Structure 1
Amino acid sequence: MVFTFEDTDDLSRVLNNSPWNIKGSPLFLKRWENDETYEDIDFLKAAIWVQVHGLPLEKITVENVISIAASLRGLVEVDNMNNLKPCRKSFPRIRVLIPLDEPLATRFLLQRPPKQPAPISYQYKHLSEFCYAYGRLGHLSFSCPVVRRPP
């Protein structure tokens, strides 16, 4: 599908808030640049908003959030970067470029000696059919064909 916009603000808003959800399925959008053909546009990666949950308040810093985004591969932007101060938000939000054909990270363990490691989880926004058990697009955790569940 091709969408056109007369207003560049509308175009920016639509692209910056993607993926969109249409009847439960994600709609990934890419900008069609000048001199590109249909075959030039690939949908192997998409920019997704990710919430990072479970970080201790003192760890919610611009440096740490950029480091977390780098571990997810492709930082696009940090939401409200100037207000990443403890108590301003309970979780940071980052936009990263993710591969759509590979499993996505769903969490990591934050080392904090001498305390036990803290589980930090990612919540990918607007991915309605995303398996948090396996990290794959296209099915939900309760119907995952890979993760074995007790009867």
Structure 2
Amino acid sequence: MVDKHYRRQAVTEALHSAWNTQHVEVSLFDKDIFLYFEHAIDYAKVIRDAPWTVTGNLIIIEQWKEQQDWSFDKMEVWAQLHNIPPEVRNAKTASNLVMRIGIPSQIMLIDGISMPQRVAYLRATILIQVATSLKTYINIQRSGKEFRALIKYERLPMYSFYLRIDWT
């Protein structure tokens, strides 16, 4: 929400509605917005379910640390990797694939049925640099063949896929 002006009440209402938390205090200081959570469990839920947007603008949330330089240049996002060959759907290879996108903190191998079809993909939480373009695919070499694994990012504004944005 860089270089944009929002009323505190509008931001508070949008976040409270999206997050369904008990109470979040929104404080504006200069060009920064500070959030104070009444309950630690609410904060944990908000971080776990990130990323979030307000009026189409991405919100990057960092935990307060007194001696920290606030750069807001990284964020965790959920990403899915589709079209993964069956022989590479294992924990070790999955980790190597996800590291080609960003720094993983969680990786899940999804394999099941979503009516009426079978689904199999990797789902991961990854730390990315927000000022770099998002990858839309990665190439995988297996048995002399090249596969293109498609990357789908969850809950990001659509324009972030097509434009290089100055996030800072």
For Structure 1 versus Structure 2, the TM-score category normalised by the shorter chain is 0.7 to 0.9
Match of 2:161 in 1: 131
Match of 1:54 in 2: 83
Asked whether the equivalents of residues 83 and 147 of structure 2 are also in contact (C-alpha less than 8 Å), the reply is yes
Structure 1 spans left out of the alignment, 5+ residues: 139-151
Cα RMSD, aligned residues only: 2.3
Q: State the 1:86 CA deviation.
A: 4.6
Return the structure number with greater strand share.
2
Identity of aligned residues (%): 22
Maintained 8 Å contact 1:49/1:124: yes
TM-score by length of 1: 0.72
2:104–2:124 CA contact under 8 A, matched in 1? yes
Cα-to-partner distance string for 1:104-128 (whole Å, 9 max, x where unaligned): 22111222234x4221011112221
**Alpha-carbon distance, 1:51 to partner:** 0.8
| Alignment check: 8 A CA contact 1:58 1:86 kept | no
> SS of the counterpart of 1:46?
strand
* Count of residue correspondences: 128
Instruction: Give the drift of 1:58.
Output: 3.8
The CA distance in 2 between the partners of 1:112 and 1:2, in whole Å, is: 48
> Within the alignment, does 1:110 sit opposite 2:147 as a pair?
no
SS at match of 1:67: helix
Aligned AA for 2:94? Answer: V
Residue in 2 that maps onto 1:75:
104
The normalised TM-score by structure 2 is: 0.66
Of structures 1 and 2, the larger Rg is shown by 2
